[in-house]
Chain A
Amino acid sequence: MSRDGSDVPRGGGATYLGMPAFPRAADFPRAADTATRDGRLRANLRHATHTIRAKRARAVAELDDWARLREAGAAIKDRTLRHLDHHLVRLEEAVTRAGGTVHWAADAAEANRIVTDLVRATGEREVVKVKSMATQEIGLNEALAESGIRAYETDLAELIVQLGDDLPSHILVPAIHRDRGEIRDIFRDRMASWGRPAPEGLTDRPAELAEAARQHLREKFLRAKVGVSGANFMVAETGTLVVVESEGNGRMCLTLPETLISVVGIEKTVPTWRDLEVFLQLLPRSSTAERMNPYTSMWTGTTDGDGPRVFHLVLLDNGRTDTLADQVGRQALRCIRCSACLNVCPVYERAGGHAYGSPYPGPIGAILTPQLRGLASPLEESLPYASSLCGACFEVCPVAIDIPEVLVHLRERVAEGGEVTVRGTRTVIRPAKRHATERAAMRAARWAFDHPDALRRGQRILSRTRRLQPRRLPGPGRAWTDSRELPAVPAESFRDWWARTRGGTS
């Protein structure tokens, strides 16, 4: 069901409140369980993530000042977020001065309404889109479809996803879960119903697939009167927006249409061009492992005779201000969507992006989604636990987001409840109901650990009965013994051995 309660047809089943395009996975473990059984998916993900991972490591190793760049990136983001209200007002003034119009959207519904009204006002029934996370977050394509407006994705991977009636599973490479053969089939079967059909006899050679996409998209670029984009950065001092992409398709959408509408999360603001410089070094090396980004488009309002004549900027909150109120969780807003954390994450590699039930998959999704949406359902409650806390994500993050720290912090909100901010109001949430048994077990364990004599009696009972213990556990214990043997219980605990041999009572 979409936000207003109407059914939105999608390939993947029921859709998500506030993010209508995304299917409601029951929870992460269940969705991941299905994914781990899919051999083709596992192979595609493993190959792709390991390739990008290795390239990124080489690109980063080239710079001797990477650690300092990373510190600078984190510091600039933190400083900007601390005074975000001030920078946003400066940005609005600069964009307005340069001929743009700024709109403020508190949530997904408001942003969708603004964009839909703006497109309607042009009289157009279709828009071309630059790859954008923010518009996926709000489910813009579905909202436009409800008003009879067709949105065409023009990023190659987003095109594959759209044609396949599929969902993106990666921030940088949304069709990472597809291999060449699958892409060929999607192009052959689906291109005709969206526009120019795929050429006869299309093979799975990358050059042929790219050419098919080029022909298909060219038609849309030349016809479209309205372009819709996000932005990687917004420079407050001049009101300049920046899109960083690799294909040039984004630049087509940013320059050819008469009207350009950009939907951008408020945390994408940087105060000055000097600040931007740091991120234009951090982002390409972290995401595509390139030294310099191929297509970096920048525009400041409108310019006579050059590019779109009308420019609208929709500044999106959608949970960001609430996230900013959380002292530990707010570091997630530093994210520049490079997806380095996805490519090194062992959990993402096995579970795939769809299991995260959001356009933001992987480690960053596990901390961003529950904060932007709130701990609204079993899915969001399960996301902070979708990690072994191995720390690989923190190690590669170009803005030093301590993802494990935030995961544990969010686990606390789930397990113990506590203070959160919802739509600007401080609220105390109760511990999650589903964790009642676990909570009792943790309390019992804590009590035993805080009473070593009782612990010792327990250890002795365990040791004495060790021959009688089952090899496979019933109930929740099956989660261990379904795939692993239990450790053998020793005849004597360490503390009993120490007491017996050293007589220690210290």
Chain B
Amino acid sequence: MRVGLFVTCVNDSLYPRTGRAVVTLLERLGVQVDFPMAQSCCGQPMFNTGYRHQTEPLVRRYAAAFRDHDYVVTPSGSCAAMVRDNYPRIGARAEAEGRGTELSEAATSAVPKTYELTEFLVDVLGVTDVGAYFPHTVTYHPTCHGLRALGLGERPRRLLERVEGLELRELDGAEECCGFGGTFAVKNPAVSAAMGSDKTRAIARTGAEAVCTVDNSCLMHIGGVLAREGSPVRPVHIAEILAGTKESAR
């Protein structure tokens, strides 16, 4: 089983500790992980802002980088959803525009092997107890693309519930968007900020020490609002919780 890590551009540049946590976690579970250097970005920022044609080279790049892998694991719900939902669309549109089947073929090769981290753990590896230790109170915010596009359902929660020392706190209005939305955050800053502060208020009400998601892009926004508000709540990616052990906590 050849497993490639698609770390995502956001994690690569801004949250490398999340990528390192995925490597630690998967290796602890006996999975050898490979990181093809040719990878970069799934193309979501361009695609979702309306630049479909700028996305096309990145679809090719993704498919080529992971050509020889059986599985691609990514610690991002929205990047996994980009590949699964939008790569086939990009291929189909190129075909409809009379530009051949090459992009569709790239999408066809990429889609079935791409897994968001918690999907890979629960569905492929079949584990919910990953032997993690995280002695903190945590609230979980299900990010929109993980929740509605991928249908992650209870997977992240099941993993968190089995973490030793972790106390999960319910989040009011958990299924409401945090207000990030990629370029939405800067194109509609007032609405984005209003959604963000409503989310951080709900987070504060849980009394949790940390807020956890499957997406660092949403956490960048939530964490940015929390920091501006001077909140002590720590934003943390689920991979970093699941990678933690008693040894590493020392």
Contact = CB atoms under 8 A, between A and B. Distances in A.
Given A29-B189, A480-B186, A408 B48 contact: yes
A415 B220 contact: no
B79 to A, nearest CB: 13
A344 to B, nearest CB: 9
Contact of A36 (B34, B43, B191): B191
B211 interface: no
B148 interface: yes
Contact of A499 (B9, B37, B58, B61): B37
A341 interface: no
B20 interface: yes
B221 A492 contact: no
B189 A350 contact: no
Contacts of B37: 452, 495, 498-499, 504-506
B155 interface: no
Nearest to B89: A405
A411 interface: yes
Interface string B16-60: 110110000000000000111111110101111111111101100
B224 interface: yes
Contact of B220 (A391, A483, A487): A487
B164 interface: no
B48 A485 contact: no
B223 interface: yes
B168 interface: no
- Kindly name the residue among A413, A485, A498, A504 whose own CB sees the greatest number of chain B CB atoms within 10 A: A498
A200 interface: no
Given A452-B39, A483-B189, A485-B228, A388 B148 contact: no
Nearest to B148: A391
A385 B185 contact: no
A350 B40 contact: no
Interface residues of A, number: 69
A346 to B, nearest CB: 5
Main secondary structure of the interface of B (DSSP, over half): helix
Contacts of A502: 35
B12 A442 contact: no
Interface residues of B, number: 69
Interface string B204-238: 00000000000000001101110110000000000
A231 interface: no
Main secondary structure of the interface of A (DSSP, over half): helix
A445 B14 CA distance: 16
B109 interface: no
Nearest to B23: A498
Given A392-B177, A449-B40, A490-B17, A476 B51 contact: no
Contacts of A477: 186
Interface string A346-367: 1100110000000000000000
B144 A388 contact: yes
Nearest to A506: B36
A44 interface: no
A327 B179 CA distance: 29
A471 to B, nearest CB: 10
A415 B50 contact: yes
Interface in B47-103: 47-55, 57-58, 61, 89, 96
Nearest to A463: B13
Interface string A399-436: 00000010010111111100000000000000000010
A459 B228 CA distance: 25
Given A459-B12, A482-B189, A490-B14, A388 B54 contact: no
B48 A389 contact: yes
Contacts of B195: 346-347, 350, 388
B144 A391 contact: yes
Closest 10 CB pairs of A and B: A388-B181, A484-B224, A411-B50, A415-B50, A390-B177, A483-B193, A494-B16, A485-B227, A391-B148, A390-B144
Given A389-B181, A506-B35, 14 more contacts: A36-B190, A36-B193, A351-B191, A385-B183, A385-B188, A388-B144, A416-B50, A442-B49, A446-B54, A477-B186, A482-B189, A493-B12, A494-B11, A495-B35
